[in-house]
Amino acid sequence: MGEAPAFVADDLPGDYPNGFDLKSEGHNTVVNVGNKTYLIGGTDHGSKSTIEVRVSDKRTGGWVTPTVLGTRPKPSEVISAVILNEDRIFILKGDSSPDDCFWFLEIHHEQVDTPFVQEKRKEFGTEVVAWSKGVVGDAKKPIVISGPSGVGKGTLISALMKEFPSTFGFSVSHTTRAPRKREQNGVHYHFTERSVMEEEIRDGKFLEFAEVHGNLYGTSIEVVEVVADAGKRCILDIDVQGARSVRASSLEAIFIFVCPPSFEELEKRLRARGTETEQQIQKRLQNAKAELEQAESQGLFDHILVNDDLETCYASLKKLLDLDEAVEIINESSPPLVDLPRDHSVSKIDKKILISCGTRERASKNIFLLDLSSLKGGAPGRTRGLDIYTSDSMTNGINVAVEGDGEDLHEVEVIQEYEIEDEGPSIMK
Ligand SMILES: Nc1ncnc2c1ncn2[C@@H]1O[C@H](COP(=O)(O)OP(=O)(O)OP(=O)(O)O)[C@@H](O)[C@H]1O
Ligand SMILES: Nc1nc2c(ncn2[C@@H]2O[C@H](COP(=O)(O)O)[C@@H](O)[C@H]2O)c(=O)[nH]1
């Protein structure tokens, strides 16, 4: 038996407040989770238009604007919503492009939080919600490479990127340090002012950041997601503090620490590179000692590589990434894409979402199923692992592209075995 619809569009509270800059009629959605009501809808501030969120606690009344983290979706005229696990709301945007129709809004409900919302609630001391774009299919785990300055991380990463340009994408960090000769903005780093970066950190735009050798460095969420969205495996070159933060985040990654064969050799390489002043070299060497000690921390790094002979170290890196025999494969099969039409209805059945296309009056037989049982990640990045199944990918009028010969679609048969409640769709425009 299917669950009752998560909410209905008519469920607007009697005291639905005017005065919000949320568009009315259809552009908004109201979701009740326990004692809270979430009003989710579009605003139109010119180029800055995004979906906004207001929260009301039924016990205290009144509406608050929560701290909103993550990349906010652009408004849509048709928004459907389904509550998942009470710690997040699944948002479906009708009439949106395939890469923009599924979103998750992570919330706080009673004792239930996603780790990110929990951490940020403590940090901000406010009501916090966090957006995370839903992505069909999975992405290969990003690779975090750490190690003391001058050990050869950049050299190893460049070799990987050169040999496997379609497989890997580099996470271009932000830094407040000055560019070196031949370093290009946007390629080697996003060079930025400290005040700007600090503000972006406060806005929750960074997956991790750290003060390293007297400058601020950080990995923006956007940079990592842009690489993953391009179907590439992201490589992060970050210090040990950053690795620790990523380990604590929702980003599942492989963590590699690169060691020098000796401290003397590290110093030799740093000096030979000729990019730092004597004072900076001393600072980096001092920090290297601490980093080498921390590399031993239980559970932080999955692999430790000694970069003595470069070729040998590079071969070991490729081996642990299962690339030793590899020839780069371009255009691996991509996950199915779906255009969610403007008129659709949504029902929740366990961890599956059934979407029927068409209006209530002119119901269409076009349906597809979203399986949310293997979700991974979440704010501050993407929520991955959505699976789509469609009844008839070629003839049903939904623009669904499915790889393979169609056999994968046998799961769709299961749809007919579910009993969907008669109450109609959970929301319809
Ligand atoms: N195995 C190696 N043997 C000898 N020299 C090496 C080896 N690996 C790298 N190098 C050299 O050591 C210097 C430092 O390397 P690289 O810039 O890649 O270090 P890094 O770890 O990325 O440093 P940073 O953290 O400061 O960016 C470079 O001049 C590079 O050519
Ligand atoms: N925590 C982070 N550390 C970073 C990031 N980008 C680079 N780094 C580390 O900084 C040092 C110095 O780099 P350099 O280019 O000035 O030599 C090095 O250990 C890098 O790994 C980041 O985004 N976050």
What mean pLDDT do residues 259-279 have?
97
Whose alpha carbon is nearest atom 12 of ligand 2? 149
Read off the pLDDT of each residue in 33-43 and give the average, rounded to a whole number: 86
Rounded CA-CA distance 209/201 in Å is 8
Give pLDDT, residue 64: 92
Most informative mutation of 144, 153, 155 for ligand 1 (most atoms within 8 A of CB): 155
Please state the φ and ψ torsions of residue 248, each to the nearest 5 degrees.
-85, -5
Ligand 1 atom 29, closest CA = 273
What element of type H or E holds 380?
none
pLDDT computed for residue 170 by the predictor? 97
**What ipTM score was computed for the predicted complex, to two decimals?**
0.99
Q: Could you confirm whether 202 is annotated as catalytic?
A: no
Catalytic-residue membership of 121: no
The larger pLDDT score, comparing residue 67 to residue 399, is at 67
Q: Catalytic: which of 233, 284, 382, 384? A: 284
Q: What is the mean pLDDT of residues 2-26?
A: 38
User: Does the structure show a pLDDT above 60 at 76?
Assistant: yes
Q: Is the pLDDT of residue 274 over 90?
A: yes
108 C-alpha to center of ligand 2: Å?
Answer: 34
Active-site residue identified among 180, 194, 202, 360:
180
DSSP line for 122-143 = HHH-S-EEEEEEEEES--PPPE
pLDDT tens digits for range 193-225: 999 999 999 888 899 999 999 999 999 999 998
In the predicted structure, residue 188 carries a pLDDT above the cut 50: yes
133-162 confidence digits (pLDDT tens): 999 888 889 999 999 999 999 999 999 999
So what's the pLDDT on residue 324?
80
| C-beta 219 within 6 A of ligand 2 | yes
Does pLDDT of 20 surpass 60? no
Q: Which two tokens stand for residue 161?
A: 């990127």
**Catalytic annotation present for 177:** no
Tell me the domains of the chain and their CATH numbers.
Answer: 21-138+332-396 (no CATH), 143-321 (3.40.50.300)
pLDDT tens, position by position, 277-331: 999 999 999 999 999 999 988 889 999 999 999 999 999 999 999 998 766 766 5
The pLDDT score that the predictor gives to residue 297 is: 80
pLDDT of res. 365:
61
In the reported structure, the alpha carbon of residue 260 is separated from the centroid of ligand 1 by a whole-number distance in angstroms of 10
Nearest atom of ligand 2 to the alpha carbon of 147: 19
Which DSSP string do the residues of 347-369 spell out, in sequence order? EEETTEEEEEEE-STTEEEEEEE
Give residue 5's pLDDT.
31
Whole-model pTM over 0.80: no
Share of the chain above pLDDT 90, in %: 52
Listed ranges 65-74, 182-191, 220-229, 336-345; the one with the highest mean pLDDT? 182-191
b/e per residue 245-282 (b: at least 16 CB within 10 A): bbbebbbebbbbbbbbeeeeebbebbeeeeebeeeebe
Task: Measure 155 CA to ligand 1 centroid, in angstroms.
Answer: 6
